[in-house]
Structure 1
């Protein structure tokens, strides 16, 4: 014997004895026809399994309550149409009852309270109607648009406790509840990570704080929705679960999502504490959690701050979880989003070999979904990386591909912050700083709390000769995402260098686990301006070890300063560091000073 939770549909023919007495052969023949043409196909179509049949009825098991109700409505609606031209005294009509509960399977049969209640409920259904228990009604209330009438509590034969029953209307076609329509649409058209933000709990006991908890939830939903790489369930769907005890896996299954965000708000004296956690519902594991303690001076400012921090952190945590999942998958199993994610991971490794692999993955993503704007933007980014580093045979042809992909991405989705972010980055690479500013501002307007957009604003301001402002934006990005990429420190270091703050720049460079030849060149220039010849020489040797053909003028041409004074500032720093020494540079145009 085994026991499990399931939906049970009990069906019984009304007036069976009377009809058999009047026309036994004809009744059996018509009943068999209804079984073959209607009932059995409806059960199969809705993933039901017929467990037991009697002469005039059956018991059917369903894994989903919604499937059981859909099956019942289909049977009763179609039987109503079939009987429209049949004399009243010859009509075959059914009563249907549905319950959900623990059932026992033994030797091909089912037993238990769940089955007994379903059978008793069926007996109270109208002829041609459907009667359900409160447990069934609770599960379909937020999944199906169907009329439900409360019949109150009823005493059922041989059942010790009263059972609340409901009648389902069958006059109209059954339709999915908006929340389920949204989920069904997502399943058909979306392969992106899906997430629902459940209403935050007000733990303070102060009803006045309820507005803060609800407002925080709604703001987080809104901010996360700005990230086009996430599919975020709407507020109307998530607030169905307000003030309800929820099971993570059940909620995820109903809404068709992989990730859930849960949180709580508690007021303690003049302080407000907000806790939040991100859960992978498929594996039932916690991915990330954080706690925010703030003094209750301005509740709306706190709401904005916490919302911004959570909205900036969550996408990165989701992407990290997706990367872990991706590492366990075979490439042949990947869908467009996963191919794009694999391409991003390879792109960030910044090697010629990985760039080539990234191109293959992003090409596959576009082949799977030609209308995927984000993939086109990243194809431009990956090809742009190859162009910058010379990892391509024909630089002119590669650049044409870069601009073509960006045009496609923009035409497909002008409201994707990532599309404009990448456009801005590529425009910076080609020293088109005015155009870069336009796309950067557009990206900020679309998603002002996206850490990659915010840090890029700081980087752009540094190139434009406004490094102090740039530092503020870079630090903001770091606050928004405490798990920010390590390269943020490099952006901050370069901003400090441009602001002539050499000690601060070197402190920021120390936060990097490894440095490339460009970063060592900046560090050498810092020491050059500080007059530390030994440290400057140490970094210059590392520059040459990583880039044997390093040349000062070529290096300066890769920088994107809008003002020549900043270019000269870097040149002078490298000269002071000794970069023109013949042992360290191909040019050997001058000796170190």
Structure 2
């Protein structure tokens, strides 16, 4: 449920009976309601602008223990289909009269809105649980006055855990578990984690029913789940009879016209407008259940919903909410018509076939303007845990589409290159340069430099282009392609700080800013600060496989090799065609002394830049293969004669003991000392 200003909650006086005074009052109420409808998007835009203000430069990312409440409306899309305007008004009234006051009364704060859901944080877990129960009881009382098909039902999950604090927002495991608990709960129910139940069971009078242990995404251990026994919730009365309306036909026509215009305007401009014209927009249709068992529709719906949630975390992508895209479920559709109706650039559709412990998902990405297929892939997965299967496949699909090297970005390259230079916008310069940058050769880097320099001349205040230029200076330096290594490394930090000092950064700019600041701190040998910035970047885009994999070197420099390997593996698993991720895994494995594993990771990559044979040279020395080590060093010097052992020390950011060992190995393998 998104929180905003509610429409007036009192029903319109429709007992006009021909009275002039009553008619005037009715017209005034209609006008007031319509003005309120028109003001809703204004309030929403103000809230959106406030939410997009970036964390000021230098504000440290913090962690704290918090109780998180996640709530979501059940069957929202169906309610909207049946009575869009009525549902909208009832939901707004419920938020204003119940949700906001109850959260505030229990000393909580709503910190995130997600379409038809919300997240709130509480300093006290007792307050969080009491608030959840009060919300369900309050809704039950409100629903008693509505027919069954008009009732607003909500699922709620509550978790107690550590969260990452960034500005007014929270991320991390504590939030993710609360959201999972909410998804498990039945309509009108409250599910809590074992930590919550243990903390409050002797402080509150509610009963807790154990629901078993459940594996959750990115969790090594299952989470104990409990359902709160909501005693005393009023029974919901039956469907009420609707009386006849005595509105004069002219007034009725006016109401219908206003509601139609207002509802249509809201639907197109508030619910379905992409967040930015600069970023691609996508609708994920409900995946078809192709299994023999029609009851497995829940699984295909779950996959689709998880993909929507995963793509929604991509900062350079605008994703249409589930209630809009699922409206086409089971209907013959034309992708171009869907694109027009939902105002999106791309549509993702697919099918799910599940048999025993085997799952096959076919997904295809389609250009909604032309109907052309952009990408299609088949994903096979096996296992006995349906949730784990769902998570694994969702992770791979989201990584393939929304990563920094994903299909959507590749599709956008062609659009940027097709434009005349005179009409290029800031985002076009970003895309053109990124296309060259990702080719990762000295020549392509210089072409990217030229493109971004032109863009910065046209858009001198562009945080986006400054950040990309910062990445280019870093890549130039660490790969030995720089004409002035010291200047390039200095510019990494300068450009990052300039960009992050800007107000109103976009989600994409914030992600890139934290990522570049991680590298800037790495260059300055501030490994803990670098790791903090890396975690902040990943919290903003946890499914960006390329970014997560490339930041493995930051974790390794901070001394956590196992975590570094895990990040590299995540990147490889979800972006398997990218050779840089396999190299990064080998790079951090070599630092940890796992030389055989490292060599297996990089040996199939070929010799397209000097770093690969240099890593293999270190591995060979430690595996007792001195001649092989010398051969690899020779290859490196053929690719780039400027490499020396001292240069390796300057451009590798591990601790002193690791660097001393690696420099000694390279000298043994024949690399010049200076």
TM value normalised by structure 2: 0.56
1:502 aligned partner? 595
C-alpha distance 196-530 of structure 1, shift in aligned 2 (>3 A) = same
Query: Shift in Å at residue 213 of structure 1?
Result: 2.3
CA deviations over 1:536-561 (Å, ceiling 9, x no partner) = 22222223333333321232121100
What is the aligned counterpart of 1:339 among 418, 429, 436? 429
1:455 to 517, 538, 549: 549
Q: 1:517 to 1:456 in 2, by over 3 A?
A: closer
Aligned 8 A contact 2:466 2:496 in 1: no
Maintained 8 Å contact 1:195/1:232:
yes
Kept in 2: contact 1:312–1:450 (CA 8 A): yes
The offset of 1:399, in angstroms, is: 5.1
CA RMSD in angstroms, aligned pairs only: 3.5
Aligned to 1:111: none
Against the structure 1 CA distance between its residues 183 and 363, is the aligned structure 2 distance closer, same or farther, given a 3 Å change threshold? farther
Where in structure 2 are the equivalents of 1:399-478 lying within 5 Å? 401-408=494-501, 412-413=505-506, 416-478=510-572
Unaligned runs of 5+ in 2: 1-80, 88-252
Mapped to 1, the partners of 2:319 and 2:272 lie a distance apart of: 14
Residue 577 of structure 1 is matched in structure 2 by 669
- Give the structure 2 partner of residue 481 of structure 1: 575
- In the TM superposition, what whole-angstrom CA distance separates every residue of 1:326-385 from its partner, at most 9, and x where no partner exists? 444443343322210111223334556644543443355567778865444323222444
Matches within 5 A, 1:47-196: 169-170=256-257, 174-175=261-262, 176-182=264-270, 185-186=273-274, 189-196=276-283
After superposition, give the CA deviation of every residue in 1:488-543 in whole Å (9 maximum; x if it has no partner): 11112112222323333223222224332233222222222233233222222223
1:542 and 2:630 correspond = no
Secondary structure class of the residue paired with 1:289: strand
User: Deviation per CA, 1:92-145, whole angstroms, max 9, x where unpaired?
Assistant: xxxxxxxxxxxxxxxxxxxxxxxxxxxxxxxxxxxxxxxxxxxxxxxxx89x98
Q: How does 1:281-320 map to 2 (within 5 A)?
A: 281-295=368-382, 297-315=384-402, 316-320=406-410
Within the alignment, does 1:490 sit opposite 2:583 as a pair?
yes
Residue 443 of structure 1 and its aligned partner are, at CA, apart by 2.0
Query: Where does the alignment leave 5 or more consecutive residues of structure 1 unmatched?
Result: 1-140, 148-166, 580-584, 588-593
Contact 2:467 2:496 survives alignment (8 Å): no
- The answer to which of 279-288 and 339-348 deviates more is 279-288
Tell whether the 8 Å contact from 2:603 to 2:616 is kept in structure 1 after alignment: no
Q: 1:373 to 1:211 in 2, by over 3 A?
A: farther
| Cα distance in 2 for residues equivalent to 1:227 and 1:472 | 21
Q: Deviations over 1:57-84 (max 9, x none)?
A: xxxxxxxxxxxxxxxxxxxxxxxxxxxx
Indicate if the aligned counterparts of 2:546 and 2:581 stay in contact, CA closer than 8 A. no
Distance 2:270 2:399 in 1: 25
1:265-311, CA deviations, whole angstroms, 9 ceiling, x for partnerless residues? Answer: 23324533322211223332323223334446222222211211111
The 3-state SS of whatever aligns with 2:516 is helix
Aligned residues: 421
Q: 1:217 aligns with which of 289, 301, 304?
A: 304
Counterpart check, 1:511 vs 2:604: yes
Cα pair distance change 1:409/1:491, threshold 3 Å: farther
- In the alignment, the residues of structure 1 paired with residue 278 and residue 364 of structure 2 have an alpha-carbon distance, to the nearest angstrom, of 23
- Alpha-carbon contact 1:549-1:586 (below 8 Å) kept: no
Bigger Rg over Cα: 1
| Deviation string, structure 1 residues 148-176 (Cα, Å, up to 9, x no partner) | xxxxxxxxxxxxxxxxxxx9943567233
Q: Distance in 2 between matches of 1:417 and 1:404?
A: 13
The answer on whether the counterparts of 1:213 and 1:265 sit within 8 Å (CA) in structure 2 is yes
Q: How far did residue 241 of structure 1 move?
A: 1.2
Q: Could you tell me which residue of structure 1 aligns to residue 448 of structure 2?
A: 358
